[in-house]
Chains A and B, each alone.
Chain A
Amino acid sequence: MRESWIIARKELSSFFDSLVAYILLIAFLGFSGFFTWLWGSDVFYHKQASLSTFFNVALWSLFFFIPAITMRQFAEEKKSGTIELLLTKRLTDRQLVIGKYLACLLLVAIALAFTLPYYVSIARLGNIDHGSTITGYLGLLLMSSAYVSIGLLASSLTSNQIVAFLLALLAGVVFQFILGSVGSGQTGWVGSLLTDLSIPHHYDSMSRGVIDTKDVLYFLALTFLGLMLTEVVISKRK
């Protein structure tokens, strides 16, 4: 665990040393802020003291945001050869994967933490449902965790960052749209299986304030599966 934490700290500081973190934070806050407060079906349109607008927008921002932070994680290490440096130190493949995962998830958590003023503002405007806000944030974090692990898997498969980004986005599209829409067109167990595998199916109820162990387990399983496959890919090297 100590080793993973060393990796996570290094990755986080390299996010902030390069402009990556700042650009992404600004883009995330700008995008989600704009649609939450200023435009479209925003908070004032709904006239409800609720963050549900934000939760819907944040979902889409993170959809692009996460592949952008995970794309370089393994692709760049492979391209520059630094992965050889790392893995010949006192560091196992698993510790490396966990370290990278922690760094990416922490950056997402930092971005989400910057939206807490939204929560405070809305709580002052009206009678906000604290429970559903907390589960909404929890849902965002869990969904991000699943996307981070998918992104890391994509990054481990190639040494080209753009390919890694597109692969992660493609996987995101499958989980976000395709499974759900194909599933709703099918009947019987195939349809329900496909719907059960889609991300919105599990995220939506959480953003409304319902915590179901099934949803939590779904995101945790997806995360676990992604990280495990990443480790398998990393361990196969030439």
Chain B
Amino acid sequence: MDILIEGLSKAYDNQKAVDNISFEVHTGEIVGFLGPNGAGKTTTMKMITQFISPDTGRITIGGKVITKENIRGSIGYLPENNPLYEDMPVMDYLSFCGQLQGIKKNQIDQRIREMIVMCGLDEEKHKKIGELSKGYRQRVGLAQAMIHDPAILILDEPTTGLDPNQRVEIRELIKRLGMHKSVILSTHILPEVEATCDRILIINKGHIVANGTAESLRSQATGKSILLVDIEGAPRTVIEKELRLMPGITGVGLSPDHRLLEIECTDSQQTARSVYKMCVSKDWMLLQMSPVETRLEDIFRNVTLN
């Protein structure tokens, strides 16, 4: 089901946590919610799940304005920090969640089995939740969010605290599920967003500051391109000086690992050609030259630090 959010605002004690944001999520789409801590991600998610109600604005799901009463069964929610009942065994907990989601008695065991297989909980299913490692607890959290097969999944930092292997597994799981559902997930891990999400929303101080696919965000973040070059044949200061004199180059510096020169320019292709020509004319050796894609980190920093 499509989610449409229009003009959503929420203030805590006169401080606006979320300020007039609008966006939509379509079926089969995984949207990554990015933003610094305290940007309003969690507040927005809590409003979509109707845990808290917005001050103003409207949330429509599948064409219907949502209320506490009509939303509940169609959303699966993994809250921040994945709260769980530590003293309950996994199976009992899933059964409890299933019952609360209104699954019929004769289907509940079937659904629990499916969740256990899907989330890889088979070996741990009889343990108490408190005895599980963080990765397994996260799986239990995902299992409870999906037990009633909701059309919408809202996941607040689903991969925090997992090791890289577990992260890949959970990511694959979300991708698989996301084919038929609308998924909103928030995270701090930028490569993860690129790997998992179809679209990225960056939110800062309660406003949406970027919205699009990773590619479209890159192309929007125009301005400077970066070339990494390695030139031999003259002292570095001389090379730097020559480079600075060339048209189209706005800055020259060392790369973060101090091995290569970093050239900031307006048009990387044009600059690459003229750097090559210059090396030929000076009889310098061009050992390496590679354009650097604008990193998501840079885009993130650009739109959130101002």
**Nearest CB of A to B84, in Å:** 7
**Count of chain B residues with Cβ under 8 Å from any Cβ of A?**
27
B80 touches A81 (CB 8 A): yes
Query: In the complex, which range does the number of interface residues on chain A fall in?
Result: 20 to 34
A90 at the interface (CB under 8 A from B): yes
B51 touches A87 (CB 8 A): yes
A124 at the interface (CB under 8 A from B): no
Nearest opposing residue in chain B for A95, CB measure: B100
B97 at the interface (CB under 8 A from A): yes
Nearest opposing residue in chain B for A237, CB measure: B52
A237 to B68: give the CA distance in the assembly, Å.
Answer: 14
A82 touches B85 (CB 8 A): yes
Among A6, A7, A18, A238, the residue within 8 A (CB) of B87 is: A18
- Find the residue from B51, B75, B80, B87 having the highest chain A CB count within 10 A: B51
Provided the pairs A81-B81, A85-B79, A85-B144 are in contact, do residues A90 and B87 lie with their beta carbons within 8 angstroms? no
B177 at the interface (CB under 8 A from A): no
- 1/0 per residue, CB under 8 A from A, across B83-112: the answer is 111111000000011011110000000000
- 1/0 per residue, CB under 8 A from A, across B27-62: the answer is 000000000000000000010011110000000000
B99 touches A6 (CB 8 A): yes
Residues on B with beta carbons closer than 8 Å to the beta carbon of A91: 72, 100
- Find the residue from B12, B87, B97, B99 having the highest chain A CB count within 10 A: B99
A238 touches B79 (CB 8 A): no
Nearest opposing residue in chain A for B93, CB measure: A10
- Find the residue from A88, A90, A237, A238 having the highest chain B CB count within 10 A: A88
Residues on B with beta carbons closer than 8 Å to the beta carbon of A238: 12, 52
A90 touches B51 (CB 8 A): no
A112 to B49: give the CA distance in the assembly, Å.
Answer: 41
Among B75, B88, B96, B99, the residue within 8 A (CB) of A88 is: B75
Residues on B with beta carbons closer than 8 Å to the beta carbon of A82: 83-85
- 1/0 per residue, CB under 8 A from B, across A209-238: the answer is 000000000000000000000000000011
B83 touches A6 (CB 8 A): no
B135 at the interface (CB under 8 A from A): no
A88 touches B49 (CB 8 A): yes
A89 touches B100 (CB 8 A): yes
Nearest opposing residue in chain B for A235, CB measure: B53
A10 touches B87 (CB 8 A): no
- 1/0 per residue, CB under 8 A from A, across B1-43: the answer is 0000000000010000000000000000000000000000000
Residues on A with beta carbons closer than 8 Å to the beta carbon of B51: 84, 87-88, 237
Residues on A with beta carbons closer than 8 Å to the beta carbon of B102: 90
> Given contacts A7-B100, A81-B83, could you give 13 more A-B pairs where the C-beta distance is less than 8 Å?
A3-B100, A6-B96, A6-B100, A17-B88, A82-B85, A84-B83, A85-B79, A85-B84, A88-B79, A89-B72, A89-B101, A90-B73, A90-B100
